[in-house]
Structure 1
């Protein structure tokens, strides 16, 4: 049986999670009082302008979402603390599976909440945005540990800088369509899909985000996880 191309599968998984980020950021900004759930740079900018009283921008939502994202990243970092950033991108272990599964479960639970509760007050919007931000913080930390080049899954500013200032400057083969361009395009498409689906019902884009994460978990656990080879015990060795 042909072995899967692990680096390419890892890349595809991170692209899928980048799409998820675009979807939930659209949900957060358009449906949860202008709060970014994955793009924390946007939240910091909104928070700064909100504190200045500009255009009645929210303060509580971005501030709490920042805290949620940080908490999620901290929790994932603690779980993966003995795994150095920059380890081979094709490796995947049970802890990665568990962390992303927890994130998928939270997104699925929020999908159910969105179905049950038709209208959200401001405080409930903040709670939901913060829960999604915590999932994104956890996801970002997992992506950092998996270390797929140019795939942070949550931000594309540095990716765009690298694309324009490095890839295009060199003029190398594949300078137009490559993983950096793909990351930017995919987060755009995720935001596009999230905004379109949000017009139908908030539960739909949240469900899509949960489903996308589940697909990544299954793919990673079955095809990228490091298999431990069982060593024969001493008695079995002697008998042979």
Structure 2
């Protein structure tokens, strides 16, 4: 009988996901909460200040493209396609970073991704200060921010911390309700899920206020500062 050939990659042990070992006060969880606030701020900037486009929430962009194709006013196919393409490019870059650092070097991997994100936020802020967010500059800013969020999403996905994706809350809210005691569950990670929602709100509110008062560039500065502070304070 011929012995089956084993896949060498399948034979290698995989490092455990971070999720089960990360409690809500763990440095990694605290960093992800801070980044969730950054995501809320950026969605306020992109949707309210860059023409109803999302740079963090790609589900929103797919829906926005459909709205624009249907003829709904105020939505841009080109803007959303730019964001989607740039986001995918950022996710590819995140995959390259993961291959370079390896999940067992989690701290260095996350810091590298965050330093890149801070640099891209700062570049977007400089562009808006210099040329405002109109015409070609608007698409450039959308692309830069979407690349940053693609890198972030790819990195956070690899870290595998439950209920802390930092950019979307649909599954977090679903788990909060479906696993609640009202639904007959044990309400696991209830505090984490509530904090994730709260931090998204905490970022989106000041971001919206700044954009609505004509301070889009300063909102981007705030996102860069918050992400930069996360890099500096993260210790593991």
TM-score, length of structure 1 as denominator length: 0.80
Asked if residue 77 in structure 1 is aligned to residue 77 in structure 2, the reply is no
Which residue pairs with 2:31 in the alignment? 13
Which residue pairs with 2:223 in the alignment? 209
Instruction: Tell me if structure 2 keeps the 8 A contact 1:22–1:188.
Output: yes
**Unmatched runs of 5 consecutive residues or more in structure 2:** 1-20
Q: CA deviation at 1:218?
A: 1.8
Asked if residue 96 in structure 1 is aligned to residue 102 in structure 2, the reply is no
Asked if residue 196 in structure 1 is aligned to residue 209 in structure 2, the reply is yes
**Unmatched runs of 5 consecutive residues or more in structure 1:** 225-240
Counterpart pick for 2:140 among 110, 127, 141: 127
CA distance in 2, matches of 1:130, 1:114: 13
Q: How does 1:1-80 map to 2 (within 5 A)?
A: 7=23, 8-80=26-98
Counterpart pick for 2:130 among 86, 111, 116: 116
CA distance in 1, matches of 2:228, 2:28: 15
The verdict on how the C-alpha distance between 1:179 and 1:36 changes in structure 2, with shifts beyond 3 A counting, is same
CA distance in 1, matches of 2:180, 2:159: 23
CA distance in 1, matches of 2:74, 2:56: 22
Deviations 1:154-211 (A, max 9, x none): 1111111111111342464788x61111111211221111001222411211111111
CA distance in 2, matches of 1:182, 1:10: 14
CA distance in 2, matches of 1:82, 1:111: 29
CA distance in 2, matches of 1:110, 1:127: 8
TM-score, length of structure 2 as denominator length: 0.82
Which residue pairs with 1:219 in the alignment? 233
In the alignment of these two chains, the number of paired residues is 212
Q: CA deviation at 1:114?
A: 2.1
RMSD over aligned Cα, in angstroms?
2.3
3-state DSSP of counterpart to 2:54: coil
Instruction: Tell me if structure 1 keeps the 8 A contact 2:164–2:196.
Output: yes
CA distance in 2, matches of 1:95, 1:9: 14
3-state DSSP of counterpart to 1:129: helix
